[in-house]
């Protein structure tokens, strides 16, 4: 019998298994597909390998697809090695929980048709999420790709195979939709963004949203608002989409459609419906220690809903295993970083100005621009800004919103400042090397420290 069985080998499940084993638990992991989950196989990693190639300019167009595969394969090997070194056996097959209360029982259905039963004192669910495919006629056509699999389609990305794809429609205006849209544009494709509202990046800071819309317009992105798709019909090698835009009928001709509107937690296929594990708003309900409503059953990552981010899944693993091993840890959701790999790059942490105000905080905001930063200009990337949201009374930094060169890499310092409750003045008085992009963060903090309330 194991101390812990982890169901799902994505970033959340893998982290939990490694950590629990390192803390002396006897752990097994069950995975039905490739280790690394959505993140490694069709999410974060292949998209960023493409991003580095297309937008970062690291490599030739011809080598683009091979490089993506090389990066993914290398990390897959690394994942397998890491679990082996952590002494975590991996059971390859589809896991179904057949006993939830008391001693847990998991049946693993293997590719050869055999099954194996595992028992454990505790169970951790990390089954991830999948793209929602809205109902419209023809929604399962060969030229329609969901956001969670689109990156695996060489027809869209491999310059040796995507010559006939000239115009792509993207349904959605969230992170995945915008990342795909800008990469396609980087490959010279026309993009039509079909938005469910008039917004992009719904939860982002207002100034960031405005700047992103400006960048999209600068790339001649066709944007349709309040879209409902009714039909997709394949003809003459292309796709005709029809639907309504603000209740007015429209038609769009394109060569492919990416549906990247939203993701739903995966709650089916592993016996959850036969359990008394509580589900709230379509996700497994958990407390701050990632405990579900059933004793000894934990859940982490995308299957628990909310922000769906690989690093969040990993830190939730820390909270769950911390609870199991008597070393409590709580994820600080008020210092949660998030990046959008578009051009210019976006990286945010903490509260938006709007969120801070809705919590009753009196805030000051301040911005510094990369146009005045020596390193940004030296790199030829002077577009963008760093915005600070600070509490008016003591200038404690509540949120940092960056759009510009290497924004994601600049986020580490910003997140530390928010998580540790630092004031704008404390950042300003910390020596920042010159010439560096992080001077822009320091300058924004200096302005926030002096800003009038
Ligand atoms: C295109 C795209 C780009 C993304 N980019 C980023 C990014 O840049 N940064 C970021 O932080 N996040 C990004 N994400 C989100 C990130 O991939 C997810 O948040 C992360 O993978 C969630 O980790 P997880 O462990 O919860 O689930 P997953 O990674 O989805 O892993 C779940 C695993 O469980 C397995 N599984 C499910 N059911 C069973 C079963 N019954 N038996 C056995 N195994 C099972 C699945 O096969 C899968 O391997 C992106 C997602 C997409 C789709």
Provide the pLDDT for residue 452: 87
Pairing mode, strands 94-99 and 346-350: unpaired
Whether the link from the prior residue into 116 is cis, omega within 30° of 0, is no
* Residue 263, token pair as written in the block: 């993701």
Taking CA atoms only, the protein residue closest to ligand 1 atom 8 is 44
CB 308 near ligand 1, within 6 Å: yes
Taking CA atoms only, the protein residue closest to ligand 1 atom 52 is 43
Pairing mode, strands 385-391 and 397-403: antiparallel
Spell out the domains of the chain, with CATH numbers in brackets.
Answer: 2-130+264-331 (3.50.50.60), 133-261 (3.50.50.60), 335-450 (3.30.390.30)
Taking CA atoms only, the protein residue closest to ligand 1 atom 44 is 31
Question: Residue 62 — pLDDT band, cuts 50, 70, 90?
Answer: confident
Calculate how far, in angstroms, residue 223's C-alpha sits from the geometric centre of ligand 1: 29
Provide the pLDDT for residue 23: 98
**Angle between helix 11-22 and helix 64-85 axes, rounded to 10 deg:** 30
CB 76 near ligand 1, within 6 Å: no
Query: Quick one: which atom of ligand 1 is closest to the CA of 44?
Result: 5
Provide the pLDDT for residue 112: 96
Taking CA atoms only, the protein residue closest to ligand 1 atom 45 is 8
Provide the pLDDT for residue 56: 79
CB 399 near ligand 1, within 6 Å: no
Provide the pLDDT for residue 55: 85
DSSP assignment string, 78-136: HHHHHHHHTT--EEESEEEEEE-SSSEEEEEEPTTS-EEEEEEEEEEE---EEE-----
Total Cβ atoms within 10 A of residue 130: 17
Contacts 24+ apart (CB under 8 A), 111-117: 116/91
Query: Quick one: which atom of ligand 1 is closest to the CA of 312?
Result: 11
CB 296 near ligand 1, within 6 Å: no
Taking CA atoms only, the protein residue closest to ligand 1 atom 47 is 33
CB 301 near ligand 1, within 6 Å: yes
Give me the residue label for tokens 């023809």.
138
Taking CA atoms only, the protein residue closest to ligand 1 atom 48 is 37
Determine the Cα–Cα distance for residues 229 and 240; give it in Å rounded to an integer.
11
Question: Residue 399 — pLDDT band, cuts 50, 70, 90?
Answer: very high
pLDDT, tens digit (0-9, with 9 covering 90-100), for 137-171: 999 999 999 999 999 999 999 999 999 999 999 99
Among 13, 44, 267, 346, residue to substitute to test ligand 1 (most atoms within 8 Å of Cβ): 44
pLDDT above 80: residue 59: no
Average pLDDT over residues 186-196: 96
The residues assigned a catalytic role are: 434
CB 320 near ligand 1, within 6 Å: no
CB 33 near ligand 1, within 6 Å: yes
Q: Tell me the sheet residues that pair with 240.
A: 233, 253
Provide the pLDDT for residue 63: 83
Q: For residues 415-437, b (16+ Cβ closer than 10 Å) or e, as one string?
A: bebbbeebbbbbbbeeebeeebb
Determine the Cα–Cα distance for residues 249 and 229; give it in Å rounded to an integer.
10
Q: Tell me the sheet residues that pair with 171.
A: 194, 259
**Angle between helix 206-218 and helix 175-186 axes, rounded to 10 deg:** 30
CB 317 near ligand 1, within 6 Å: no
Average pLDDT over residues 194-212: 95
pLDDT, tens digit (0-9, with 9 covering 90-100), for 235-252: 999 999 999 999 999 999
CB 343 near ligand 1, within 6 Å: no
Cite the beta strand spans of 213-354 per DSSP E: 222-224, 227-235, 238-245, 248-254, 256-259, 263-265, 279-280, 283-284, 297-299, 338-340, 346-350
Q: For residues 155-165, b (16+ Cβ closer than 10 Å) or e, as one string?
A: ebbbeeebeeb
Average pLDDT over residues 130-139: 96
Calculate how far, in angstroms, residue 167's C-alpha sits from the geometric centre of ligand 1: 28
Query: Quick one: which atom of ligand 1 is closest to the CA of 37?
Result: 49
Pairing mode, strands 256-259 and 144-146: parallel
pLDDT above 90: residue 60: no
Calculate how far, in angstroms, residue 180's C-alpha sits from the geometric centre of ligand 1: 17
Taking CA atoms only, the protein residue closest to ligand 1 atom 12 is 309
**300 CB-side CA count, 13 A:** 33
Residues in the chain: 453
pLDDT above 90: residue 32: yes
Among 80, 127, 133, residue to substitute to test ligand 1 (most atoms within 8 Å of Cβ): 127
Average pLDDT over residues 210-225: 96
Mean pLDDT estimate for the chain: 96
CB 128 near ligand 1, within 6 Å: yes
């Amino acid at each position: 019998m194991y101390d812990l069985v982890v169901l799902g080998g994505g970033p959340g499940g893998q982290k939990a298994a490694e950590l629990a084993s390192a803390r002396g638990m006897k752990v097994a992991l069950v995975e039905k597909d490739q280790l690394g989950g959505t993140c490694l196989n069709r999410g974060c990693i292949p998209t960023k390998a493409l991003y580095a190639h297309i937008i970062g300019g690291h490599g030739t167009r011809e080598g683009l697809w091979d490089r993506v595969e090389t990066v993914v394969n290398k990390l897959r090997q690394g994942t397998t090695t890491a679990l082996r070194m952590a002494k975590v056996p991996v059971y390859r097959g589809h896991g179904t929980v057949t006993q939830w209360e008391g001693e847990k029982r998991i049946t693993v259905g293997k590719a050869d048709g055999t099954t194996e039963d595992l028992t454990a004192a505790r169970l951790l669910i990390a089954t991830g999420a999948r793209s929602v495919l809205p109902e419209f006629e023809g929604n399962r056509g060969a030229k329609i790709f969901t956001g969670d699999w689109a990156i695996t389609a060489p027809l869209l990305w491999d310059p040796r195979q995507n010559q006939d794809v000239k115009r792509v429609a993207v349904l959605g205006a969230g992170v995945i939709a915008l990342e795909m849209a800008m990469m396609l544009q980087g490959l010279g494709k026309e993009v039509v963004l079909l938005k469910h509202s008039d917004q992009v990046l719904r939860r982002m800071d207002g100034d960031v949203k405005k700047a992103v819309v400006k960048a999209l317009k600068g790339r001649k992105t066709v944007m349709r608002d309040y879209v409902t798709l009714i039909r997709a019909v394949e003809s003459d090698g292309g796709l005709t989409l029809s639907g309504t835009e603000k209740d007015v009928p429209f038609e769009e001709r394109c060569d492919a459609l990416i549906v990247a509107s939203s993701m739903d937690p995966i709650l089916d296929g592993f016996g959850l419906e036969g359990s008394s594990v509580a589900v709230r708003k379509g996700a497994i309900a958990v407390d701050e220690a990632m405990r579900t409503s059933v004793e000894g059953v934990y859940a982490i990552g995308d299957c628990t809903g909310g922000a769906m981010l690989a690093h969040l899944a990993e830190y939730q693993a820390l909270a769950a295993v911390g609870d199991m091993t008597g070393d409590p840890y709580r994820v600080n959701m008020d210092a949660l970083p998030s990046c959008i790999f578009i051009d210019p790059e976006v990286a945010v942490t903490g509260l938006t100005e709007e969120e801070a105000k809705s919590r009753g905080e009196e805030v000051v905001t301040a911005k510094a621009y990369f146009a005045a930063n020596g390193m940004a200009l030296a790199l030829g990337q002077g577009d963008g800004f760093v915005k600070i949201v600070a509490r008016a009374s003591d200038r404690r930094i509540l949120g940092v919103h960056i759009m510009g060169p290497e924004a994601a890499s600049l986020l580490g310092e910003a997140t530390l400042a928010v998580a540790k409750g630092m004031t704008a003045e404390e950042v300003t008085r910390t020596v920042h090397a010159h010439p560096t992009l992080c001077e822009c963060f320091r300058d924004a903090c200096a302005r926030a420290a002096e800003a009038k309330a």
